Amino acid sequence: MLYYNGVIVMYKKYWIAAEQAAKIRSVIKNYEKTSVFRKLQAIMLIGEGESVEEAAKTTFYSETYTYELIKQFCTKGFDEFVKDGRGGANRRNLTNEQEAAIIDKFDKKAKGGQVVSLHEMKEEYEKVRGKKTADSTFYAFLHRMKWRRVMPRGTHPKKASDEAIEASKKLTFD
């Protein structure tokens, strides 16, 4: 891009053909996301002969960004252009399928009446992941899977005191 007297001047390096604009017009209604729709609309308008300034005003983009959209469309192609690059879970340790497999294994064990220990689960998690894992990471995994840590009580809440137990032992009948 070049600037001349405050106006953006661009070489005719990238351009949109009328056939591409017609293709976009035929498929643009299938895109429900506003961001993709507006990007395609800007490209379509330019391909139909409108200036970059007019397309930018129509789509509420800046002229600079509209030029960038043209460049992206010409270099990446239609399929890559409409793909939403935003994701998430970039720091996840395991895929959803791996996490589900771990939970299913221990879920079957728990439903079978066996005791499931967190130590076993964490070892399995680390084995699948391939390295040591912090406890907080493992507990976040359990929380995500809607599992909770349930520990048995040490004593019954209505247990009698030790003195009362000793006193009752002395009340034996001979």
Give every CB contact of residue 1 below 8 A, 6+ residues apart in sequence: 8, 9, 10, 64, 67
Beta bridge partners of 2: 9
Check: pTM over 0.75? Answer yes or no. no
Residue with the two structure tokens 């137990």: 165
Domain boundaries, the chain: 2-82, 96-144
Q: 83 φ, ψ to 5°?
A: -70, 135
CA distances from 166 to 28, 82, 149, 157, 158 (A): 83, 78, 35, 18, 16
Kindly report, residue by residue over 77-101, the tens digit of the pLDDT.
888 888 877 777 777 889 999 999 9
Q: What is the pLDDT along the chain (174 residues), one digit of tens a residue?
A: 555 555 555 555 777 888 888 888 888 888 877 888 899 999 999 989 889 999 999 999 999 999 999 999 888 888 888 887 777 777 788 999 999 999 999 999 989 989 888 899 999 999 999 999 999 999 999 998 999 877 778 888 899 988 988 888 887 665
Contact 60, 42 (CB under 8 A): no
CA distances from 47 to 28, 62, 63, 101 (A): 14, 17, 15, 49
